[in-house]
Amino acid sequence: MNPVDQKIEAHYHKEGLFEEILARLENQNIDLNHIQRSDIAGVDEFHMRGAAVSKELAAAIDLNDKKVLDMGSGLGGPCRMLADKFNCTATGIDLSPEFVRTANALSKLVGLDDKTFFIQGSATRLPFEDNSFDVVWTQHVQMNVPDKQLFYGEAHRVLKPGGHFLYYDIFRKNDGKIQYPMPWASQESLSFLIKNDEMAQIVESLGLNPISKTNQTQAGIAFFTSLLAKVKQHGPPKLGLNVLMGDSTVSKLTNLLAHLEKGLLVLESGVYQK
């Protein structure tokens, strides 16, 4: 791993993550022999609006029986949803060995380990042949990647001609100063934000054609406002993103919400075709 990736990996690292998830499930008296995807939904999608937004994103194209790659797959929730709902074969790649171990173990726990596969590695050096996936999917990852040309170049390279690239991401709106910590970076040196039109320029110059684009900012603001109100009233959820972000969860989420409200950051999803 290069020094930047090492720092990113350390930022996300959570020792004994899978065991902690199991313990939290047991504390809720959930039978570990009959775990459903819904039981782990609070923790296995590490982006704003969790499972709801992945479901929306998935409705944008025909995903049935497709071979999908998730770049920066985290704990693997989106891959499991695609395997379960659309019979996809979903491969995830992530920098974090602990996230990859947890993602594979969670897939086994819910009986989706025959259709979802998680490997450790960098999205900027994909260990896959050219033109090998029908769909490349990525959510809330590129903010951690300094070399956008490499990141989007790899997505384009492994995508089959006619295949789709789906993204859901956080972008800068302008050159205003961003204050940290954020969920993806406790300090500025881990964060490599670009504007959404800069991203569009890169992917279009690679040969991907824009199909659709959705501004998700207001939906993200509404989600965080209601989540933070719930946490204030009832305390942290029994199995939520607090497991991944620890003691600084509320300050990271409050900070991100403030930047979205002030118009310094935007949330956008979209679809491109090769």
Closest distance between ligand SAM and the C-beta of residue 73, in Å?
6
| 18 touching ligand SAM, by CB under 6 A | no
CB of residue 163 vs ligand SAM: minimum separation in angstroms?
19
For residue 146, the minimal CB distance to ligand SAM (Å) is 9
Residue 249 makes contact with ligand SAM by CB under 6 A: no
Enumerate residues 21-50 that contact ligand SAM by CB under 6 A: 45-47
Query: Of 89, 104, 116, 122, which lies in the binding site for ligand SAM, with binding defined by CB under 6 A?
Result: 122
Bridge partners of 71, per DSSP, are: 93
Q: Which is nearer to ligand SAM, 209 or 254 (CB)?
A: 254
184 binds ligand SAM (CB under 6 A): yes
Query: Quick check: 123 binds ligand SAM (CB under 6 A)?
Result: yes
**CB of 47 or CB of 175, closer to ligand SAM:** 47
Say what angle helices 97-109 and 17-27 make with each other, to 10 degrees: 40
Residue 210, φ and ψ in degrees, nearest 5: -70, 135
Q: How far is the CB of 29 from ligand SAM (least distance, A)?
A: 26
Taking alpha carbons only, the member of 268, 263, 251, 264 closest to residue 180 is: 251
Tell me the longest C-alpha to C-alpha distance in the chain: 52
CA distance 253 to 242: 10
Outline where 124-268 has alpha helix (H): 148-158, 196-206, 217-234, 242-245, 249-261
Instruction: From residue 233, give the alpha-carbon distance in Å to each of 209, 225, 228, 229.
Output: 45, 12, 9, 6
Q: Which of residues 133-162 bind ligand SAM (CB under 6 A)?
A: 139-141, 144-145
* 40 neighbors 21 (Cβ within 8 angstroms): yes
- Region of 92-100, 102-110, 209-217, 258-266 interacting with ligand SAM (CB under 6 A): 92-100
Contacts of 117 (CB under 8 A, 6+ apart): 89, 90, 91, 92, 104
Q: Which listed range, 31-39, 67-75, 204-212, 247-255, lies at the site for ligand SAM (CB under 6 A)?
A: 67-75
What is the binding site for ligand SAM (CB under 6 A)? Answer: 5, 8, 12, 45-47, 72-74, 77-78, 93-96, 99, 122-124, 139-141, 144-145, 184
